[in-house]
Structure 1
Amino acid sequence: MARPGIRARRVRATAPARARAVALVEPGVLEPGAWMIRTAKLPVWPVYAMFAFLPLWWVLGVFYFVWPFFGVLLLALLSTRGGIRLPTGTVFWLVFLSLVTISATRLDRVTSLIVFGLRLGHLLTGFVVGIYVYNLIRDRVRWTRVANPLALFWLGVVALGWLGVLMPKFSFPSPFELALPHGVRSERFILDLAHLDSTEFNKLSSNPIYRPAAPYPYTNNWGTAYCFLVPFVLAYLMSVRRGAMRIALLVSLPLSLVPAFLTLNRGMFIGLGAGVAYLLGREALKGRIRMLVPVVVIVVLGWIVTLFIPVFDLITNRTSTTDTTSDRFDLYAQTWAAVAQSPLFGFGQPNSVDTTHAAEPLGTQGMIWQLLYSHGVPATICFYVLLMVLARRLAAAVTSAGLWLSAVPVIAVVVTPFYAYIDPNMSVLCFVVALGLAAVDGPVNRELKETPA
């Protein structure tokens, strides 16, 4: 009851001026959360620029050097977007990267920071690529639209592999190499990355074996990319049933066997074989045999290639005329002895040393040896735990495409004694794994009515 002598007033609640202005056209504007900042969609074009233009980056000589800059671009887009989803294994990635960064304190020369920074940039870029691709898929961007840049990257790798087959002596200085200061060009590692060579061969041999390597400086890097990309190509073919890209991949897959065999990469065969064995074993335990069909097709195609290319004879000739095996074991033994002197943080990066049989840096010839020597035992353990966590999560895949993608972490583990991939191949690995993780964690937009080339 109102007090005597005081007139009662009715107070009417009013909406804020901005709300009133738009309330008639935006019925939900006054609902809770209406004024929350909406996350922007991530663009796909940076991924295209990064992966699809591989031949251009190689011809310019900046393939390895431009990669970290793309990583910075992707990180900037992720940072401005907000609402980023983090995939499985992110914590282990961050711990691993922290340990790698700390190992820089073990460098004995200031100039070594250039090479260390490049390698760290490739690790960070791989991590960012994985998060970026994962969020693209979770945002329901069409699977083909996200996967096509990596498919074009595969076509570039195959095409440049054939350049090594048809023009094995192709060797020219790149524009970037010519622009480098003399002091930087004198660094062997930098020169290898900037120079254009279609193959890798022993320049001291009287009868050299030319092994396809482009766009990479070393043929082992080509073999590593092949290991990671073949399951992706098979996953793409299982997911996309029509379109120009599917036709291109169907044609390129058997064609890729020629440069692949001519690399004579034993570790590549071991890695792919382990991935296939892993998939077949999983399917056999579940009483399914659907994976046998593509495996049999690939094996038959490989056998046909060996009828024209004496692969096993070439491998035997290579191992009998060189000390490649003894060189590797000598490096492994010396690397392990050096690791005992600095087990926690390693030495920052591989170190040049004349071994008994060859002049090669300690901490090379395999991912495990590079991690142990350069970054220490804890970083190495963390990296392997990361790969095992990713493999376990991807084991939940049930589709044919998902099964092929789930084999990639296993392949990555198996090839570590033979090949290192602290280079653009780390981004390839993370791209493929992110496609699989996104499909396992949520719905995937597989609309095929708009399948771009």
Structure 2
Amino acid sequence: MRGLPPAAWPIAALLIGYPLWWALGFGGLAVIVLAPSMALVLWRRRPIRAPRGFGLWLLLLAGYLVSALMLGEMPPGTYGELGAGRVIGYLMRLFLYVSLMIMVLYLGNLTERELPQLTLVRMLGVLFVTAVAGGLLGVLAPRADFTSPVERLLPQWISGNSFVHNLIHPTAAQVQKVLGHSSPRPEAPFEWANAWGSNVSVLLIWFVVGWWVYGGPRRRLAVAPLIALAAVPIVYSLNRGLWIGLGIATAYLFLRLGTRARVVVFSATACGALVLFLSPLQAMVAQRLDNPHSNDIRAFTVTATVAATATSPIIGYGNTRNATGNHRTVTTGKTGWCDVCGHPPLGSDGQLWHLMITQGFVGATLYVAFFAGAVRRHWRDRSPIGLAGVLVMILTLLYMFVYDGLVTPLSLYLISFALLWRNSMASRAA
């Protein structure tokens, strides 16, 4: 990254410096810290260009502002008091949405000389290496964690909020009883195990583009070993959504690439499947598929989310709510006789459901239209960056059913969107 112009350093600080942000306790919220510097770059080069379809994102943001009117309301079948936690969560998401809007415009208004496309792609490749290292840490030392500087500085009434705590308290893994016993699910350097799964699949795509498709001999030499290392935490993540996403990515490439490239994809997939089948990891995959313990939980929360959204279908409720009971009991919390009772947060099982409860059916529709529109507009771009960007948009639409987009996944989705936008501008200029 030597010789990078000053205007491009905010995005370099975000992607390459991400491990430092994570250790400090900012993690995915680093984009909020860096957004003012990006906004300053934009301000100095007015008029500002905007991509096609960006009006949908502005409407989504406007709808979120309006949804604040419903923060004090309680839909049927939910409970909880209006408190600081609900307001903090709303404001944090608002700052994030605005910061991501600034980031997309910032990336699209940098020139190719200031930030070459390949440089941005390789920055994402560096973050992939970071994610693999964090995943291996989660496998080898799953209970590793520490108190971040941000966590120490914040008052307890803020840092004690469960949503905030997950963002500012660095941990290596989530230890959950997925297979009937405690299993580590890697999450470092991101906020949740599901966020790690979503992010590593997106970053893998850009890693292959930057380090293999456009890579020199040394970079290409590192690709196979790094992907092999990544396979270990990918399996240990027990992340079915990630596994399905990788399968869809393989099918997409086989469909859209030329004959010679298809042979390469098929050969690599076959070799990977053979190695997995012959390794001890195969047993873990089989156990996970035989233990779909989260299906009932997801079905309950999704059903409750849709029912609650139906009572405020246009603007939602501004933030998540807690459902009364869970899929096993009508009680509202853990007791001495029911340690599995709980309060599933509505909208916690995917960005689509999150948007429904926070912004109604209208907000969810705008989100789908934004990313589906990107797929439609850029489908004909058969350059490596175009093919990769469209694939990420497709995965975004898949993951919205099972993964929350906040915090880091949505940042990577929108950086991928910006890469597509920059590619289309370069094509028109040519």
Pairwise same-fold verdict (TM > 0.5): yes
Is the deviation greater in 294-303 or in 88-97? 294-303
Aligned ranges for residues 403-414 of structure 1 at < 5 Å? 403-414=387-398
Q: Which residue of 2 aligns with 1:385?
A: 369
The Cα shift of 1:406 comes to 1.8
Contact map agreement 1:142 1:444 (CA 8 A) in 2: no
Q: Which residue of 2 aligns with 1:38?
A: none
Aligned ranges for residues 318-333 of structure 1 at < 5 Å? 318=288, 323-333=293-303
Which whole-Å CA distance do the structure 1 matches of 2:103 and 2:307 have between them? Answer: 35
The Cα shift of 1:205 comes to 9.6
Q: Which residue of 2 aligns with 1:133?
A: 107
- Mark the runs of 5 or more structure 2 residues left unpaired by the alignment: 73-81, 329-341
Corresponding residue to 2:412 among 413, 428, 435: 428
Change (3 A) 1:326 1:237: same
Determine helix, strand or coil for the equivalent of 1:84: coil
Corresponding residue to 1:216 among 190, 194, 211: 190
Corresponding residue to 2:210 among 218, 236, 256: 236
Corresponding residue to 1:399 among 346, 371, 383: 383
Q: 1:314 aligned to 2:284?
A: yes
Change (3 A) 1:326 1:61: same
Corresponding residue to 2:311 among 332, 338, 341: 341
Change (3 A) 1:51 1:318: same
Contact map agreement 2:7 2:114 (CA 8 A) in 1: no
Aligned ranges for residues 280-291 of structure 1 at < 5 Å? 280-283=254-257, 288=259, 290-291=261-262
Which whole-Å CA distance do the structure 2 matches of 1:223 and 1:46 have between them? Answer: 25
Determine helix, strand or coil for the equivalent of 1:209: strand
Contact map agreement 1:158 1:259 (CA 8 A) in 2: yes
Q: Which residue of 2 aligns with 1:294?
A: 265
Q: 1:376 aligned to 2:346?
A: no
Is the deviation greater in 240-249 or in 363-372? 240-249
Contact map agreement 1:138 1:443 (CA 8 A) in 2: no
Q: Quick one: which amino acid aligns to residue 386 of structure 1?
A: F
Corresponding residue to 1:148 among 122, 146, 161: 122
- Mark the runs of 5 or more structure 1 residues left unpaired by the alignment: 1-40, 446-453
Determine helix, strand or coil for the equivalent of 1:172: coil
Change (3 A) 1:203 1:271: closer
Contact map agreement 1:391 1:406 (CA 8 A) in 2: yes
Which whole-Å CA distance do the structure 2 matches of 1:308 and 1:277 have between them? Answer: 24
Is the deviation greater in 108-117 or in 237-246? 237-246
The Cα shift of 1:172 comes to 2.3
After superposition, the C-alpha distances for 1:107-162 in whole angstroms (9 at most, x for unaligned) are 12362222112112222222322222223355574333333332222221111111
Which whole-Å CA distance do the structure 2 matches of 1:148 and 1:55 have between them? Answer: 16
Contact map agreement 2:67 2:317 (CA 8 A) in 1: yes
Contact map agreement 1:365 1:417 (CA 8 A) in 2: yes
Contact map agreement 2:350 2:402 (CA 8 A) in 1: yes
Contact map agreement 1:236 1:401 (CA 8 A) in 2: no
Q: Quick one: which amino acid aligns to residue 191 of structure 1?
A: H
Aligned ranges for residues 27-38 of structure 1 at < 5 Å? none
Contact map agreement 1:125 1:427 (CA 8 A) in 2: no
Which whole-Å CA distance do the structure 2 matches of 1:289 and 1:242 have between them? Answer: 20
Determine helix, strand or coil for the equivalent of 1:146: helix
The Cα shift of 1:329 comes to 0.7
After superposition, the C-alpha distances for 1:57-83 in whole angstroms (9 at most, x for unaligned) are 111212133321212321222122224
Contact map agreement 2:19 2:189 (CA 8 A) in 1: yes
Which whole-Å CA distance do the structure 2 matches of 1:110 and 1:385 have between them? Answer: 33
Aligned length: 401
The Cα shift of 1:43 comes to 1.1
Q: Quick one: which amino acid aligns to residue 152 of structure 2?
A: L
Q: 1:364 aligned to 2:334?
A: no
Q: Which residue of 2 aligns with 1:355?
A: 326
Determine helix, strand or coil for the equivalent of 1:202: strand
Q: 1:255 aligned to 2:229?
A: yes
Change (3 A) 1:239 1:326: same
Q: Which residue of 2 aligns with 1:71?
A: 35
The Cα shift of 1:171 comes to 2.4
Q: Which residue of 2 aligns with 1:440?
A: 424
CA RMSD of aligned residues (A): 2.6
Which whole-Å CA distance do the structure 2 matches of 1:207 and 1:423 have between them? Answer: 28
Larger Rg computed on CA atoms: 1
The Cα shift of 1:444 comes to 10
Which whole-Å CA distance do the structure 2 matches of 1:381 and 1:324 have between them? Answer: 26
Q: Which residue of 1 aligns with 2:79?
A: none
The Cα shift of 1:245 comes to 5.4
Q: Quick one: which amino acid aligns to residue 156 of structure 1?
A: T
After superposition, the C-alpha distances for 1:263-287 in whole angstroms (9 at most, x for unaligned) are 011111222322332343345xxx7
The Cα shift of 1:214 comes to 1.0
The Cα shift of 1:203 comes to 7.4
Q: 1:57 aligned to 2:4?
A: no
Q: Quick one: which amino acid aligns to residue 399 of structure 2?
A: V
Q: Quick one: which amino acid aligns to residue 209 of structure 2?
A: A
Which 4+ residue blocks in structure 1 deviate beyond 6 angstroms?
Answer: 203-206
Change (3 A) 1:163 1:91: same
The Cα shift of 1:220 comes to 0.4
The Cα shift of 1:369 comes to 0.6
Contact map agreement 1:62 1:194 (CA 8 A) in 2: yes
Q: 1:269 aligned to 2:243?
A: yes
Contact map agreement 2:351 2:403 (CA 8 A) in 1: yes
